[in-house]
Structure 1
Amino acid sequence: MAAVSSSGSVHVFVRNAGGGLMCRREQQGGKWGPWTDLQGSMLQDPPAVVAHASGRVEVMAGGQDLIMRWVQDRPDGDLRRALNIPISVTRGTAAVLETAPDRATYYWTDPATGGSSPTVPAAGCFRSGARRPGSPSPCCAGPGRLRLHGAGPS
């Protein structure tokens, strides 16, 4: 998976043989830097990546009964581990989008309620980043579940 920051720097992310996350960045002038081990373990899915308009990059990947996240505190800065989200994810369903300035919303399918449903399953979401006081949150302020309209049994 890859993302391009606002400065034009390409970030490539892959899962390594040990189940951790590796990153390689394009440096100024077009040369590639070395692979960096971002740690983590027992990743089960390819990472989902978002490049914010601010230039920051965030990454999430499903592991064993948790979602692991990495974030940049500033554009083109180092990626650091963020708090894990303790929830199961159906393999291959994780996605992340910038849903407000410098705020990522992570989405996934909940395996307990929707892993094999032919309709749109119940899903979970998590929001990172700043939130204006009093602004509505269609997902949640932390890990949780949402029911998509018309999805599965009531």
Structure 2
Amino acid sequence: MSDEIYKGLKQLGGATTMPQSPEEAELERVQNPQADVAYNVRFTAPEFTSLCPMTGQPDFAHLVIDYVPGEWLVESKSLKLFLGSFRNHGAFHEDCTVSIARRLVEFLEPQWLRIGGYWYPRGGIPIDVFYQTGEMPAGVWIPDQGVPPYRGRG
């Protein structure tokens, strides 16, 4: 396998700072060296945070992102910085979750993507947000996201 696919990366292996907003965050991608095989990639962010747009109070979520890549893979450090950029971002749970999915879909053009946003309670109500691009692809093992319904989230 050639290291040429990693040549254009700017963030991996170097010092970086957390972007101040999701709009400022730069996602990076590499060519999928296994593009001829359908497989699932899972990212889990159990400590995702954003801000309530009304009160400025922190909101916490456990995010699970599954995608079946096409020609591109998201570079994980750039994804980590993108998700971290929501720490200063004020938006409702639904907007954060769906915005993350839509940005990844637009950037990666995966065969399929889903996100589960399992938000911890604010005001006594947990809000879970789910988005996917279509039917789950046949022949690809995509396990349950494994996050239990809210009972303290274990």
In the superposition, the TM-score normalised over structure 1's length comes to 0.33
Higher strand share: 1
In the superposition, the TM-score normalised over structure 2's length comes to 0.33
